[in-house]
Amino acid sequence: MPIDSFAPEEEAAYKGLLEDLLRLHSAARGGTAGEMPIVARRSWHFSDDGPVTLVCPQLPKREASPFADPGNPNYTHLAGFGDLDAMVELHGHVRADNPSMDVFFKAAPEVKADDLSGHVVIIGGIAWNDVTRRLIDLSQLPVRQEEYSALPTGEIFVTQVNDETRKYLPVLSSETGMLMEDVGLLVRMPNPLNSNRTLTMCNGIHSRGVLGSVRTLTDARLRESNEQYIARNFSNNQFGILMRVQVIAGETLTPDFNTAGTVLYQWPVKA
* Residues 251, 185 share a domain: yes
54 and 26 in a single domain? The answer is no
Give me the half-sphere count of Cα atoms (radius 13 Å) on the Cβ side of residue 143: 27
pLDDT digits (tens, 9 = 90+) for 7-43: 545 554 555 566 556 556 556 656 554 555 555 679 9
pLDDT tens readout for residues 99-120: 999 999 999 889 998 999 999 9
CB 129 within 8 A of CB 57: yes
Residues 5 and 105 in one domain: no
Strand partners, 230: none
Return the pLDDT at 8.
45
Please report the pLDDT score of residue 37 as a whole number: 53
Give alpha helix (H) positions in 168-239: 207-215, 223-233
Provide the whole-model pTM.
0.84
Same domain as 256, residue 206: yes
d(C-alpha 226, C-alpha 216), whole Å: 7
One domain for residues 15 and 123: no
Helices (H) and strands (E) in the chain, counts: 5, 12
Domain check: are 134 and 238 in the same one?
yes
Judge if 4 and 109 occupy the same domain: no
Domain containing residue 10: 1-37
Asked whether residue 135 carries a pLDDT value surpassing 50, the answer given is yes
pLDDT reported for residue 31: 57
Instruction: Give the number of domains in the chain.
Output: 2
